[in-house]
Structure formats: structure tokens, C-alpha cells
């Protein structure tokens, strides 16, 4: 009986530790909190970098450009009136929800003027960030292009380029590989772009992405978001679980699963 028990125990342990790796991108990113909690950089758990303030501190630590944070904390109307060009947004938020790009009192998203009472109604008693409004590559205050780079063990593989189409009053998007060749969208996009555009700073941005990835996120998947202002590349946000794992196409999931396999990032 004892021998049979030992055989069964050995078999269970063998099956447990020799389970075939499963490469499933959606499962991997949905399990990001567990993976990020096990790893650290600069004595800080990676899970803590999923935060706009800590992202900013990380950029400064790595000597990477980041927007200046003028204020963070509970909404205070006295802080807003100090600046002519600024971004005001919730500390915890996603997409462009309640994000205001303000240039001399005008919201760049809507081209409408907002007074202080408007922000009283939106942000009263909420935690906010007020940060530097960056000019674009032509040194104009416009809505910046957003570059979201899917990075596997520090290697930038796919770039989502979002740009604001003023004719449509909305964002359009294109997906590229790391050689800036257009590829099929990974997610179901409401508006696919038609812009044939390549910034002269793309190579610089990809190199900075790789540097951050290898330095901090060499054992995980992460999406690193960037902006380009004048000739400088700015780190925007760190996103471990893009879109909460929702909205990806079958082709997109297949592509991402293959990249997980390429870089040995199993979900189990």
C-alpha cells in the first residue's frame, strides 16, 4: 500500500512539474498582477509601476523624458489657475475618459472653452493629476500621436499608432511591426486609419522602449506607451493588461500567442 501511494505521489508531481507550457496571451495578461508581484526593479515591485505617478518616477530614474507633473492629489481649483497649457486627468483612469488637454482655456479635444466651474463639477473631491501639455513634433499644441508598443521580455514587437483625426473628431489607428510595416489590426478598431506616416523619431522610440524593457520588464510582457514632442521621446504609461484582454481579433490572438511562444512567456 505504501509503495502504491509513493508511485501515485511521484506521478502527480511529475505531471505537475512537466505540464506542457501553454502560450495564451489573454490568460497571460489577465494574470499580470501575480507575475508582476513576484518581480522587482530598484527594490520596487513591478506591480507598482502600473500607476501614472510611479511611471513618471521610473522615467526620471532611467533618464527618460516624461511630462512634468505639476500637481497630484485631491482636486484643488487653485492649482489649475497657475497654468496656461496643461493636462488634467484622474489619477486612476483609462483611455481618454475625463482627460482634458487645455491650451489657454481651450480643450483641444473639443475646441471648446472650459472655465473653472466645469472642472469643479467633473473632479470635485477626486484624486487628479495636472501635468505638462507637450507640443507636437512641429512645436504646436495639438493632440499628440500615441504610440503603444507591445513588448515581450524587453523586445518591442508591435506598435499601435493612434492619431487624432480632426476631420472625424476621433482617433484613428494603425498597427505596425517593429520594422514599421503595416499589419492587420490586433483588435477590432472602431476607426482604422489611412495615414501613411513615419516620424523621424521612430527608431529612437523603439530603442528607448527596448532599453526600458530590458532594464525593467525583461521577464514579462508589457505595453509601453510613448509620445513624441519636438525631437524628444516621452514615456507616457505602462500597461500590463491592454484593454483588459478584451476586443482582440482571432488573428490578433494568434499573432500574440506566437510571440508569447517566441519569447517563452507561458501563461501557466
Contact between 146 and 236 (Cβ < 8 Å): yes
Q: Assess contact for 176 and 161: CB atoms under 8 A.
A: yes
Task: Inform me whether the pLDDT recorded for 115 exceeds 50.
Answer: yes
Under 8 Å between Cβ of 222 and 243: no
Provide the pLDDT for residue 15: 44
Evaluate if residue 226 carries a pLDDT over 80: yes
User: So what's the pLDDT on residue 14?
Assistant: 45
Domains in the chain: ranges and CATH: 25-66+140-262 (3.30.470), 69-132 (no CATH)
* Cα–Cα distance measured from residue 151 to residue 18, given in angstroms and rounded to the nearest whole number: 27
Query: Mean pLDDT over all residues of the chain?
Result: 88
pLDDT for residue 67: 96
pLDDT band at 232 (very low <50, low <70, confident <90, very high): very high
Q: Stretch 216-235: mean pLDDT, rounded?
A: 96
Going by C-beta distance under 8 Å and a sequence separation of 6 or more, which residues neighbour residue 44? 54
pLDDT value at residue 235: 97
Cell 501553454 -> residue: 22
pLDDT of residue 138: 87
pLDDT for 146: 93
Please determine, for residue 104, whether its predicted confidence score (pLDDT) is greater than 80: yes
pLDDT of residue 18: 43
CA angle 140/104/65 to nearest 5° reads 50
- Give the pLDDT score at 191: 67
pLDDT level of residue 13 (50, 70, 90 thresholds): very low
Phi, psi (5° rounding) for residue 46? Answer: -60, -30
pLDDT score of 228 more than 50: yes
**0.85 exceeded by pTM:** yes
Residue 196 confidence class, pLDDT cut points 50, 70, 90: low
Lowest-pLDDT range of 10-14, 52-56, 185-189, 240-244:
10-14
- What is d(CA 68, CA 81) in angstroms, rounded to the nearest whole number? 17
Nearest Cα to Cα of residue 89 among 104, 106, 70, 105:
70
- Dump the DSSP string for the chain: -HHHHHHHHHHHHHHHHTPPP---HHHHHHTHHHHHHT-EETTEEGGGGSSHHHHHHHHHHTT-B---EEEEEE--HHHHTT-SEEEEEESS--TTTT-EEEETTEETTTTEE--HHHHHHHHTTSEEEEEEPPP-TTS--SPPPEEEEEEETTEEEEEEEEEEETTTTEEEEEEEETT--EE--SB--SSB-------TTHHHHHHHHHHHHHHH-TTSEEEEEEEEETTEEEEEEEESSGGGG-SB-HHHHHHHHHHHHHTT----
pLDDT on residue 94: 61
Q: What percent of the chain has pLDDT over 90?
A: 68
Strand partners, 221: 152
| pLDDT greater than 70 at residue 143 | yes
What pLDDT was estimated at residue 181? 92
- Compute the average pLDDT of residues 202-229: 97
Residue 93 has pLDDT above 70, yes or no: no
Distances (CA, A) of 264 to 19, 23, 28: 14, 8, 11
Judge whether residue 170 has pLDDT over 90: no
Amino acid at each position: 500500500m505504501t509503495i502504491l501511494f509513493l508511485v501515485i505521489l511521484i506521478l502527480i508531481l511529475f505531471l505537475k512539474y512537466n505540464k506542457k507550457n501553454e502560450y495564451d496571451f489573454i490568460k497571460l495578461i489577465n494574470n499580470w498582477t501575480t507575475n508582476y508581484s513576484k518581480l522587482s526593479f530598484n527594490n520596487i515591485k513591478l506591480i507598482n509601476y502600473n500607476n501614472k505617478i510611479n511611471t513618471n518616477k521610473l522615467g526620471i530614474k532611467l533618464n527618460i523624458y516624461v511630462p512634468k507633473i505639476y500637481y497630484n492629489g485631491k482636486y484643488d481649483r487653485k492649482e489649475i489657475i497657475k497654468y496656461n497649457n496643461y493636462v488634467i486627468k484622474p489619477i486612476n483612469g483609462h483611455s481618454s475618459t475625463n482627460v482634458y488637454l487645455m491650451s489657454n482655456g481651450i480643450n483641444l479635444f473639443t475646441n471648446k472653452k472650459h472655465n473653472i466651474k466645469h472642472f469643479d463639477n467633473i473632479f470635485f473631491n477626486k484624486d487628479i493629476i495636472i501635468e505638462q501639455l507637450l507640443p507636437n513634433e512641429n512645436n504646436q499644441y495639438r493632440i499628440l500621436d500615441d504610440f503603444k508598443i507591445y513588448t515581450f521580455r524587453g523586445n518591442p514587437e508591435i506598435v499601435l499608432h493612434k492619431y487624432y483625426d480632426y476631420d472625424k473628431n476621433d482617433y484613428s489607428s494603425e498597427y505596425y511591426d517593429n520594422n514599421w510595416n503595416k499589419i492587420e489590426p490586433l483588435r477590432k478598431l472602431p476607426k482604422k486609419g489611412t495615414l501613411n506616416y513615419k516620424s523621424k523619431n521612430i527608431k529612437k522610440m523603439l530603442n528607448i522602449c527596448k532599453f526600458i524593457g530590458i532594464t525593467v520588464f525583461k521577464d514579462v510582457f508589457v505595453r509601453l506607451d510613448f509620445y513624441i514632442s519636438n525631437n524628444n521621446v516621452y514615456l507616457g504609461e505602462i500597461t500590463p493588461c491592454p484593454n483588459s484582454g478584451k476586443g482582440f481579433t482571432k488573428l490578433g490572438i494568434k499573432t500574440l500567442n506566437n510571440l508569447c511562444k517566441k519569447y517563452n512567456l507561458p501563461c501557466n
